[in-house]
A and B are shown apart, each in its own frame.
Chain A
Amino acid sequence: MSPLAKVTGLSATAGSAVLVDGVSFEVFAGEVTALVGASGSGKTTSALALLGESGSGVRLEGDVVVDGEVVVDSNGPTAKAERLRGRAVAYMPQHPGSALNPARRVGATLRELERLHHPGQSVVQDALRGAQVPGNRETLRRFPHQFSGGQRQRVALAQALTCRPKVLVLDEPSTGLDSITRLQLAGELRELAEGGLGILLLSHDLGLVRELATHVVVLNAGQVIAFGGTDVLPSSWEPQSTGTTSAGKPLLQAMNLSASIRPRGRIPVLHDVDLTVDAGNSVGVVGRSGSGKTTLARCLAGLHERSTGQLLLDGEPLPVLRKRTREQNRRVQYVWQEVRGSFDERRPVDQQVARTAQRLRDLPPDQAHAEAVATLARLGVSAMTAARPPSRLSGGELQRAALARAVLAEPDVLICDEITTALDDDGTALVVDLLAELKTRGTALVWIGHDLGLVAAVTDHVLVIDDGRIVEQGPPATVMTAPQHELTRRLVSAARLGRPETPPTPPSDTADTRSEPRR
């Protein structure tokens, strides 16, 4: 079988900087080729070469053939490249939902692409079906802002499919999806490939790649360091169960916790949630995006003020953050999910981290700084990196810095809200390791996440939350092996994505349950 797209010896240079160096890969009809690597490894630059596109000041060179036409040669992109855009190769950016024109009705753009690429044919309905968007008149007359975040991604996919490309490029499609949605995505992409489309998947999500890819190309700093089947991927990291069974006395208790967003309690998001965590113990809270788990975490941290019910710390009532004493403030710390927004962009990260120890533990500045640097180093963030402002750190580095910022308070209760979403396996291991050590010193953990597999491995007790209510709870082993609730069952199968020993079962309902991507 001849490849739909063949890239040979592609290099991209910007001035003296080499972005991509001698990269080669092929995309075949009906198969998935994955480009794997961290951000900045040259995945996107390589993939955009299929469109003959390069950033300003970037020089492309090599041999790129798409659908029998030369798109890039030794002189850079050719004139033919432009005609192949959409028709031969369609690219889906990282957050496809934001790539819809707010001023145009969805149908207008779809019909425009139809006229451009396939005049006289009607391909829109097929494309909508392929992207699982209802094809009725009302849908087509809507504007992008009238769709939910998940639907917007589907509409963007429908736009790409309307062009009837031979090759579909997907840039980090699983970013920001919860585990169940990610499982659905995997199923949909497999279906598209089975329909004859060649898919080029750019991802650092190894689970997804293992699940889908036939061909894998591993990139590092612009060079191919491995290629072949999924066996070239590093073996998946299995968190060591750090559960303890020693029951301490209850440290943090929440009783009948209900909360709403918007003033005057318009939209309830939590209903009568009970939660108890003992000293030296950990509780996991698992749910989909929008299930209320972040609100629960913010209630415990005292940041969400529109709530009813009771919070106790050591049996004493715990008020909202504004009214907490300094000691209470120190004892309960929260690690943000949206890390980039939680750092002041004008000050170096290490100084911001150190402030916790200064303000809450009265350490002198130099000592606080030394402790901040040591903690960050333990989490794999070098002192040199940490001395920069937040904009110069990667999402994963900032996520670890946010953890360090909370840990410096020496808290008794640490609430971690999705703190590993931007981390690779190595980073996750460092974080889990540090948290395990804190636990042995008596710190209680509340771990919020969407990945039941990870949460079950690192906690002693798991709560499954859906629509603001706890639908199931128990020890992790029980929840994983004998799930009772429908949602839990789906979370369990989603957690197995990309683990070859137990093939995932597709979700039982096919309705559109994809929810808003996390912001």
Chain B
Amino acid sequence: MRSYAAGRAALAVVQLAVLSVLVFVLTSLLPGDAADMRFDETLSPEQVSRLREQLGLDQPALERFLHWFSGVLTGDLGTSLISGGPVSEIVRDSVGATLVLTLATLAVVIPLAVALGILMGTRENGRLDRAITSVTLALSAIPDFVIAVVLVAVFSLKLGWLPATWIGGSLLTSPVLLVLPVTVLLGRTVCLLSRQVRAGTITALNADYVVQARRLGVPRRRLLLRHVLPNAAVPGVQELARTGDTLLGGVLVVEAIFAIPGFATALVDGVETRDIPTVQGLTLVLAVAALLINLGADLVCNRLVPRTELLR
């Protein structure tokens, strides 16, 4: 168990190193740079190249990478080419909204998905199971942005019940701002997770060890909570990484639609203005977050069912 955690953590460190190289390469490959973007065509080529020098864009890629990477290790993500301020500041300013959005969604998704999954799993092929299955299957086929556009049109524009954007509002003063974004994000993630939990429940209910426990006289309620649930959660937790990916994609879309000043908004701005240090910083932070979710999911799985092999 402990050696599993050590091995898995070692892999995460390697992943982190490779990821940072990848992030740098990927963003450096973007054609055009801030010098191109910041000034219009009236500038002479000499002026543009002088500007490049100023911004350090004329140095070889390897040197730029080493400079950037040594900064990353000390927590310095570089300087934004557009605002001139440190990238870490941009990260700090935008992380709050995204974090609140994500955590609020997860706080609803996880209990809901587990409850639905177990409800469906214990009534396999019953009427309730079929009904929920059909709804989740249909719901998971609708892209986030379609749901978002329709919800905004109906509840904000037509009925005027809920605010359509975050502009001028703060979560602390008006949590009602969260209602529409979280509803949009719920859709697909709940569907994905509850299907996994359902499958896990059915597998566990039919497993030899649950049948045997029942035959030894363990009552049904206890059987579900103590014998079935830990095993039923495994496929769900294993799927957490993919759910996380879906959720992150959803957050990007939702932030754009509801004009939430979060990570995604900062990222899209950075990409559009070719502010490479900002893009690198934000991408790296997001990649690290995804990596930690993966690590956490694997460790929880291993704790739940300790025979889980490394990387299988």
Contacts and interface: CB of A to CB of B under 8 A. Distances in A.
The answer to A–B direct touch (Cβ < 8 A) is: yes
Interface of A: 51, 53, 82-87, 90-91, 93, 95-96, 98-104, 109, 112-113, 116-117, 143, 145, 156, 159-160, 163
A104 B230 contact: yes
B162 interface: no
A465 B62 CA distance: 62
22 contacts: A51-B215, A83-B217, A85-B214, A85-B215, A85-B217, A91-B215, A93-B208, A101-B209, A101-B227, A102-B307, A103-B234, A103-B305, A103-B306, A109-B213, A112-B226, A113-B216, A113-B217, A113-B218, A143-B306, A145-B306, A145-B307, A159-B216
A103 B208 contact: no
Contact of B226 (A95, A104, A160): A104
Contacts of B138: none
Contact of B230 (A82, A103, A117): A103
Interface in B197-221: 208-219
Nearest to B1: A143
B294 interface: no
A242 B183 CA distance: 79
Given A112-B226, A143-B307, A102 B209 contact: yes
Contacts of A102: 209, 231, 305-307
B55 to A, nearest CB: 52
A93 B212 contact: yes
B173 to A, nearest CB: 44
Contacts of A83: 217
B209 A98 contact: yes
B186 to A, nearest CB: 28
A101 B231 contact: yes
A58 to B, nearest CB: 15
B119 interface: no
A86 B234 CA distance: 28
- Best-buried of A103, A112, A159 by chain B (most CB within 10 Å): A103
Contacts of B217: 82-87, 113, 116-117, 163
Contacts of B218: 86, 112-113, 116
A55 to B, nearest CB: 11
A419 B142 CA distance: 56
Given A104-B227, A143-B306, A143-B307, A99 B214 contact: no
A218 to B, nearest CB: 25
Which 5 pairs, one residue from A and one from B, show the smallest C-beta to C-beta distance?
A86-B217, A99-B212, A86-B216, A103-B230, A85-B217
B48 interface: no
B177 to A, nearest CB: 40
A224 to B, nearest CB: 24
B9 interface: no
Nearest to B233: A103
B215 A103 contact: no
Contacts of B226: 104, 112
Contacts of B306: 102-103, 143, 145
Contacts of A84: 217
B304 interface: yes
B209 A163 contact: no
B264 to A, nearest CB: 37
A86 B304 contact: no
A82 B208 CA distance: 18
A98 B304 CA distance: 18
A156 B230 CA distance: 20
Nearest to B308: A102
Contact of B208 (A85, A98, A104): A98
A100 to B, nearest CB: 6
A53 B214 CA distance: 11
- Best-buried of A83, A87, A104, A113 by chain B (most CB within 10 Å): A104
Contacts of A116: 217-219
Contact of A103 (B211, B214, B216, B304): B304
A98 B219 CA distance: 21
Given A85-B215, A101-B227, A101-B231, 13 more contacts: A85-B216, A86-B217, A90-B215, A93-B208, A93-B212, A99-B212, A103-B304, A104-B227, A112-B218, A112-B226, A143-B306, A145-B307, A160-B216
Nearest to A142: B306
Contacts of B230: 103-104
Interface in B269-312: 304-307
